[in-house]
Amino acid sequence: MDVPSTALFTDQYELTMLRAALTAGTAERRSVFEVFTRRLPNGRRYGVVAGTGRVLDAVENFRFDAGVLGFLREREIVDEKTLEWLAGYRFGGDIWGYPEGEVYFPGSPIMRVEGTFAECVLLETVILSILNHDSAIAAAASRMASAAGDRPLIEMGARRTHELAAVAASRAAYVGGFATTSDLAAGFRYGIPTVGTSAHAFTLLHDSERDAFRAQVDTLGRGTTLLVDTYDVAEAVRTAVEVAGTGLGAVRIDSGDLLLVAHRVRQQLDELGATDTKIIVTSDLDEYAIASLAAAPVDAYGVGTQLVTGSGHPTSSMVYKLVARAESTGPNAPLVPVAKKSSGGKTSVGGRKWAARRLDAHGVAEAEVIGTGPVPSELADRQLLVELVKGGEVVAREPLDAARERHTAARAGLPMSATQLSRGEPVIPTEYVHGPSGS
């Protein structure tokens, strides 16, 4: 799962910009880059920050070893002067960001990277790659968790995406509210609880459904989950209770009209005395399907394809933009705000920014306030960015459960309409407070 270096998880123009900046004598200018998104995916009310912990790992492993340097030399991507500079590369700047699990809105400075232009520009692609993917998955997971209410969600999308993306997706889903994963690599790497019993192939292997159920119960115990829709659901439920007894842990339904079938299965289980046997449903679920099953006697949901593809929005459209740079390479040179001023909706706001969330009289979020310069006193204790890396050293590693709990609290602090699945604008507005960029 580990890679020796993340230095090539980048685009070539990062290195050619570095080469040109070294030639121009501007590479060492102090610079501030910010990660933000100009808009949320259509219909989404909030975004979810996920992948922060993976970004910290990627920054630590961003090293140009002999093999990487040899590749760059062979392809003549940069010159020898630049290769010499890259050989000693270590990010020595500072990174601030919204803590993992926090929610965000258009314009939120989700991550702020400060240092020399040379050391910061190289990190653009890998940071965006991680945050765009993980935040998209976490946002979909959060919507699904809201729709599911108190019913647990199982992440089971590994077979629907790249094998390494599957591990990242499991991690992001856990941050967003999923309880478990079927992906053992995610369990091994991140400590996420894992679950799994059997698929239709196991039933088809045996001479009868009864033989399959008996083999599973004899091996895994009566608390196992039996898959009951390989042939006839009603007959399978009857057989399952006969084999496992009324203490059967759960049955899983993976096809058909889930609302109707769940009601029929619940009635049948109760009539057979298996009143504590739970019902798990799968079958290409998304947040809308989960919401439609709110009145059904379902105890848990398994979600795959729609989760790992962001439920229609596989990226968060985040960008990494230079917002301030020093007037010169001098250590005390003042910062100058800079911003792109093009047409087509791709403008940005210059200046090193802070962010705070203003609350109403009831403690509910009412605005995302973003500014440059001094932070207003009334927002001083509501600031969102935390220090993640100081002088090149990671200072904010935390257990994954901390991010998961943070997200639950952050979502609960939003207006109630945040969890509506109907299309709408961001649940709170973004307000800008302009002042001097500061240094």
Q: Residue 382's domain is classified under what CATH number?
A: 3.20.140.10
Specify whether the CB–CB gap between 141 and 173 falls below 8 A.
yes
Rounding to the nearest 10 degrees, give the CA dihedral for residues 178, 184, 189, 194. 40
Is 1 a residue whose pLDDT tops 60? no
pLDDT score recorded for residue 340 = 83
Is the pLDDT at 347 greater than 90? The verdict is no
In the chain, the N- to C-terminal Cα span, in Å, equals 40
Considering the domain architecture, whether residues 347 and 306 belong to the same structural domain is answered as no
285, 173 in Cβ contact below 8 A? no
Q: Are residues 68 and 130 in the same domain?
A: yes
In a domain? residue 203: yes
The closest of 184, 129, 179, 151 to 1, measured between CA atoms, is: 184
Residues 194 and 286 in one domain: yes
In a domain, 187, yes or no: yes
Residue among 131, 145, 109 nearest 33 (CA): 109
What is the average pLDDT score of the chain? 95
Claim to verify: residue 236 and residue 342 sit in the same structural domain: no
Instruction: Quickly tell me which residue has 């729709």 as its tokens.
Output: 147
Residues 387 and 94: beta-carbon distance below 8 Å: yes
Q: Pick from 268, 293, 310: which residue ends a domain?
A: 310
How high is the pLDDT of residue 438?
46
Residue 436 structure tokens? 């001097």
Long-range contacts, stretch 392-395, CB < 8 angstroms, 24+ apart: 392/90, 392/91, 392/92, 392/93, 394/56, 394/59, 394/60
* Residue 186 clears pLDDT 90, i.e. is over it: yes
pLDDT digits (tens, 9 = 90+) for 50-69: 999 999 999 999 999 999 99
pLDDT of residue 423: 83
pLDDT of amino acid 344: 67
Spatial CA neighbour of 34 closest among 169, 102, 100, 131: 131
Please report the pLDDT score of residue 341 as a whole number.
82
Output the pLDDT for position 439: 43
Residue with more model confidence, 277 or 348: 277
Dist. CA 160–CA 307, nearest whole Å: 10
Q: Are residues 196 and 120 in the same domain?
A: no
Measured at the CA of 323, the angle between CA 320 and CA 328, to 5 degrees, comes to: 120
Residue type, 107: G
Residue 182 and residue 34 share a domain: no
For 95-143, write each residue's pLDDT tens digit. Answer: 999 999 999 999 999 999 999 999 999 999 999 999 999 999 999 999 9
Confidence of residue 43 (pLDDT cuts 50, 70, 90): confident
Residues 287, 268: contact at Cβ < 8 Å?
A: no
Single-letter code of the amino acid located at 318: M
Mean pLDDT on 407-416? 98
Q: What is the mean pLDDT of residues 144-172?
A: 97
Q: Which CA distances in Å does 42 have to 72, 265, 315, 367, 422?
A: 40, 37, 12, 20, 11
**What is the mean predicted confidence (pLDDT) over 152-172?**
97
Task: Please determine, for residue 437, whether its predicted confidence score (pLDDT) is greater than 60.
Answer: no
Q: Is residue 6 part of a domain?
A: no
Same domain, 173 and 45: no
Q: What is the mean pLDDT of residues 405-410?
A: 98
Please give the Cα distance from 114 to 34 (Å, whole number): 9
Q: What is the C-alpha separation between 216 and 229, in angstroms, rounded?
A: 16
Using a pLDDT cut of 90, give the percent of the chain over it: 93
- For the chain, count helices (H), then strands (E): 15, 18
User: 142 in a domain, yes or no?
Assistant: no
Final residue of a structural domain among 310, 337, 366: 310
Mean per-residue pLDDT, 147-161: 97
Residue 420: domain span: 12-137+313-433
Query: Alpha-carbon distance 15 to 28, whole Å?
Result: 15
Q: What CATH number is given to the structural domain containing 202?
A: 3.20.20.70
The model's pTM is 0.95
Q: Does residue 277 sit in the same domain as residue 334?
A: no
Distance CA 301, CA 109 (A): 34
Q: How many domains does the chain have?
A: 2
CB of 363 closer than 8 Å to CB of 67: no
Q: Cβ distance 182 to 195 under 8 Å?
A: yes
Reference 191, options 7, 368, 407, 400; nearest CA is 400
pLDDT band of residue 35 (cuts 50, 70, 90) is very high
Residues 73 and 162 in one domain: no
Q: What is the pLDDT of residues 224-250, one digit of tens each?
A: 999 999 999 999 999 999 999 999 999
Q: Is residue 5 a part of any domain in this protein?
A: no
The residues that bridge with 226 in the sheet, in sequence order, are 251
pLDDT tens column, 289-301:
999 999 999 999 9
Check whether residue 399 and residue 330 sit in a common domain: yes
Domain boundary among 310, 331, 356: 310
Alpha helices (H) in 97-152, listed in sequence order:
117-121, 124-148
Same domain, 274 and 331: no
Q: At what angle do helices 124-148 and 400-412 cross, to 10 degrees?
A: 60
Q: Are 430 and 367 in contact (CB under 8 A)?
A: yes
* Short-list 117, 96, 115, 122, CA closest to 36: 96
404 inside domain? yes
Q: Is residue 173 located within the same domain as residue 268? A: yes
Write phi, then psi, for 50 (nearest 5 degrees). Answer: -145, 150
